[in-house]
Amino acid sequence: MQVDFLIFLYLTPLLGIVVWYWRRHQRLERESFAALKAATEAGMLEPPTLHPEIDHENCIGCKSCVAACPEQDAHAVLGMIRKKAWLVGPSDCIGHGACKTACPADAITLVFGTATRGIDIPVVNSNFETDVPGVFIAGELGGMGLIRNAVEQGRQAMESIRKLLRKGTTINTIS
């Protein structure tokens, strides 16, 4: 009798937590479906700038990308559908890139354009040097139009240039 009461005492809160989690998950999925349906009906499925492309094979459904998106409070940009992250409001995404940084499974890549609307941007390596040696780019030209991102890229590019100059490498300048 005492054991049954203890089992009841411990299982009741656990069951409450499971029910709460399940209901919250269902509500968030309904909201994500509604946002995706609204975007589809409005014809707003073309992202205007840099946006996430989510690999659903690698997505672990942790919702960290949804929580990291700074636009989530104003617009439904990312949502969870069938326990995977989806871009539910593509036209509301302005390319912060916080979702990629927050993804622990590396399931998000930031891309420009879509299959119907391609955009060519220069290829740059991790220190913002283009495929033309000694030419560095940052900001809108490199695909990150937000001022905060452009400033950070510019800082990192200058650091790379400083390191190259210390090694004695000649840097091409454009006048």
Amino acid 175: pLDDT? 40
d(CA 74, CA 55): 25
Instruction: Please tell us whether the domain made up of 2-111 is placed in CATH 1.10.3720.10.
Output: no
Q: How confident is the model at residue 1 (pLDDT cuts 50, 70, 90)?
A: low
Write the pLDDT tens digit of every residue in 109-160.
Answer: 888 766 555 555 566 777 777 777 777 776 666 655 566 666 777 787 788 8
Write the pLDDT tens digit of every residue in 67-78.
Answer: 999 888 888 899
Amino acid 84: pLDDT? 94
| Distance between start and end Cα atoms, the chain | 87
d(CA 61, CA 108): 12
> What is the pairing mode between strands 84-87 and 108-111?
unpaired
Token pair, residue 91, equals 């036209």
Instruction: Please answer whether residues 116 and 125 qualify as being in contact, where contact means their C-beta atoms are separated by less than 8 angstroms.
Output: no
Residue 38's Cβ-side half-sphere holds a number of Cα atoms within 13 Å equal to 13
> What ranges do the domains of the chain cover?
2-111, 121-175
